[in-house]
Structure 1
Amino acid sequence: MSSTSGSQGASIGFRDLQRRCREAGIAAGIAAATADSTWQLTPLSADLVSAMGPLTDWSRTWAEPR
């Protein structure tokens, strides 16, 4: 299993990285936990998904072989 470098230069494992990402998503208002312990996008992140649509379309075109 690979690890990545933490803020202090120490390696962290997958579970710690997963926890940190989850905490960052909550803090940024991107994801919210539901009553049944699942996750859903917040209205703010749903707006972001919509705003990123044109960039996603462009990236697919860019990635096509020429």
Structure 2
Amino acid sequence: MAALDLLGRRWSLRVIWELRDGAIGFREMQARCGGMSPSVLSTRLKELETAKIIESDDDRRWRLTPLGLDLIKAFGPLHTWAGRWAEEF
């Protein structure tokens, strides 16, 4: 249940999704997630880092860990379902 609690927090999935193609810095992440305050982004990054889903490199750019990459793979079926659901509207 702890994983669902973490992933269910506002912006958590978006942060993970934005890292799917590689590492990005704090400001770039904030720009991609317009509307997210710096304090919320900082909190989410720390939570996801503690959960070993993301990590930062020497340049303070955030990237997915191997565990985070596995999570992105798990998004595949949900992404497919979301596409079918969107067609209903």
Q: Where in structure 1 are there 5+ consecutive unaligned residues? A: 1-12
- TM-score, with length taken from structure 1: 0.70
- Higher RCO structure, 1 or 2 (CA under 8 Å, sep 6+): 2
Larger Cα-atom Rg? 1
Separation in 2, partners of 1:50, 1:58: 14
Alignment map for 1:1-66 (pairs within 5 Å) = 14-65=37-88
- TM-score, with length taken from structure 2: 0.54
SS of 1:32 mapped into structure 2: strand
Task: Among all aligned residue pairs of Structure 1 and Structure 2, give the percentage whose two residues are the same amino acid.
Answer: 33
Q: How many residues matched?
A: 54
SS of 1:40 mapped into structure 2: strand
Hey, which of these two has a bigger chunk of helix by percent? 2
Deviation at 1:43, TM superposition (A): 0.3
- Backbone CA RMSD of aligned residues: 1.8
The 4+ residue runs of structure 1 with deviation greater than 2 A are: none
